[in-house]
Amino acid sequence: MKIQERLGAGGNRSAAPAQPAMGERLPAPPRERKPALAALAVLLILVGALGATVLVLRAGDRIEVVKVTKEIPAGEAPVEGRNITSVMVAEDDSIHYVPWTKVDALVKLKAKSTIPAGTVAVGEMFGAKPGLPAGKASVGLSLKEGQYPADLKPGDTVAAYPVVSGTSTAKGSAGSGSSSSGSSSGSSGGTPLVAAAKVSTISSNNDATVSTGNQNLTLLVPRGEVAALASAASEGKVVVVRVTPDSN
């Protein structure tokens, strides 16, 4: 009888699953894998690496070219250390850069038009024959020593004055023992023939064996001032002085 009661009592027990003991970890659900996102991440990494490689390669393909450091007016020549220097740029066959290795040939050419400072020079900017700026004319002068500053150079701004001849006077006297120069004296007039002109070229006009100090100058002057300057120059009655460049 007791055995049946026990079996009956055991049959009435609940069939609910046993709860996990305290401290036990519940099993985590399996993670959902996303292969598309993983592939995209790999692709972005490859693109970034490729871009960095291209930049490195392009940085290596650089050449040394000519850069203008000071404005070169039309008709003037570039001069190393004065208005041009070297700079590294990315090589580009579509741009006709002037290689720094050819700077010796470049300084023999003239600017076809005014080249502003900061410009990277290209071959089309220069030519064997200088171009004249609008409203300007090229005038040649043959000057003797004393009619021009000794340190005059191309690119300088000058003014041209007429020479007014006068009667010479003896600077010395018989008692002093000094003699007269024997040449006529002269002075420059107060009104300039040309107030501001650019020196385009300078060349010496010396004998093969004796240095005479004569200079041939080419000036770029306004067209309206050409006639007076040319007339005085034909008679050798011109004095050239250096002036401050026009701020305009």
100 has a pLDDT exceeding 60 = yes
When the pLDDT of each residue in the chain is averaged and rounded to a whole number, the result is 75
Q: Which residues pair with 217 in a beta bridge?
A: 141, 202
In a domain, 76, yes or no: yes
Is 157 contained in some domain?
Answer: yes
Q: What average pLDDT does this structure show over 32-57?
A: 77
- Give the pLDDT confidence of 168-211 residue by residue, as tens digits: 333 333 333 333 333 334 455 578 899 988 887 787 655 444 45
Q: Predicted confidence band at 67 (pLDDT cuts at 50, 70, 90)?
A: very high
Three-state secondary-structure class, residue 136? strand
pLDDT at 97: 93
Residue among 201, 126, 122 at smallest CA distance from 158 = 201
**Which residues are paired to 188 by β-bridges?**
163
Q: 151 and 111 share a domain?
A: no
> Could you tell me if 148 and 70 lie in one domain?
no
- The distance of Cα 1 from the centroid of its chain, to the nearest Å, equals 118
Task: Tokens for 73, please give them.
Answer: 């007016």
Give 20 or 36, the one with higher predicted confidence. Answer: 36
Rounded to whole angstroms, the Cα distance separating 22 from 42 reads 43
- Give yes or no: residues 122 and 147 share one domain: no
79 and 113 in a common domain:
yes
Q: If you average pLDDT over residues 162-170, what whole number do you get?
A: 57
**pLDDT score of 216 more than 80:** yes
**What pTM, to 2 d.p., does this model score?**
0.45
111 vs 20, which has greater pLDDT?
111
The token pair that represents 75 in the structure block: 């008709």
Mean pLDDT score, 105-118: 87
Q: Are strands 186-188 and 157-165 parallel, antiparallel or unpaired?
A: antiparallel
Tell whether 1 is covered by a domain. Answer: no
- Provide the 3-class DSSP secondary structure of residue 60: helix
Domain of residue 160, residue span: 136-167+185-242
Residue 33 has pLDDT above 70, yes or no: no
Comparing 12 with 208, which gets the higher pLDDT? 12
Banded model confidence at residue 29, pLDDT cuts 50, 70, 90: low
pLDDT at 122 over 90: yes
* pLDDT for res 71: 87
Question: Which CATH number belongs to the domain containing residue 117 in this structure?
Answer: 3.90.1210.10
Residue 94 lies inside a defined structural domain of this protein = yes
Give the C-alpha separation, 93 to 103, whole Å: 19
Q: Are residues 99 and 193 in the same domain?
A: no
What is the tally of structural domains in the chain?
A: 2
Same domain, 157 and 198: yes
Q: Do 67 and 142 belong to one domain?
A: no
Which pLDDT does position 1 carry in this prediction?
A: 53
Tell whether 71 and 88 lie within a shared domain.
yes
User: Which of these ranges, 82-86, 130-134, 219-223, 226-230, has the smallest mean pLDDT?
Assistant: 130-134
Looking at the structure, tell me whether residues 98 and 150 fall in a common domain. no
Averaged pLDDT, 118-128: 90
